[in-house]
Amino acid sequence: MHLEIYADGASSGNPGPAAIGVIIKNEKSQKLTEISQYLGLTTNNQAEYQAVIAALKAAIKFKAVQVTLYLDSELIVRQFAGEYRVKNPSLRKLYLEAQRLGRSFKNLTINHITHQQNKDAHGLAKAALKRF
């Protein structure tokens, strides 16, 4: 099974109250599930990684073989690709967890998209922030 996943993290302040939004679609672009979860106080980059981790855990539950992940965080995409080093210790822990989960799939592709292209996942993150 191939999944398309849109993920986003958001914080109000940096650090500040934060949340994630994730939309998971099958190969026919049909929505399978969505995640809208409040995280508590954290940075925006930590929230972005938490969104990736939640997305990959959900993909494992769907028994995905291939995953295409779409993010609007250029930093996370480039760190995941090994183009940027992960210097921050708290981000490094989340990065390593995301890398570990990513090895669960035969093929994992991570693409950078614009904020506008990721507005639905961002909306889920913002909705979770408003609930708290």
Concatenated DSSP letters of 59-92: HHHTT-SEEEEEES-HHHHHHHTTSS---SHHHH
Checking if the pLDDT of 131 tops 90, the result is: no
Q: What is the pLDDT of residues 37-96, one digit of tens each?
A: 999 999 999 999 999 999 999 999 999 999 999 999 999 999 999 999 999 999 999 999
pTM: 0.96
User: Which CATH superfamily groups domain 2-130?
Assistant: Ribonuclease H-like superfamily/Ribonuclease H (3.30.420.10)
Residue 132 pLDDT class (50, 70, 90 cuts): confident
Q: What is the mean pLDDT of residues 16-23?
A: 98
Q: What is the pLDDT of residue 66?
A: 98
Q: What is the mean pLDDT of residues 103-131?
A: 96
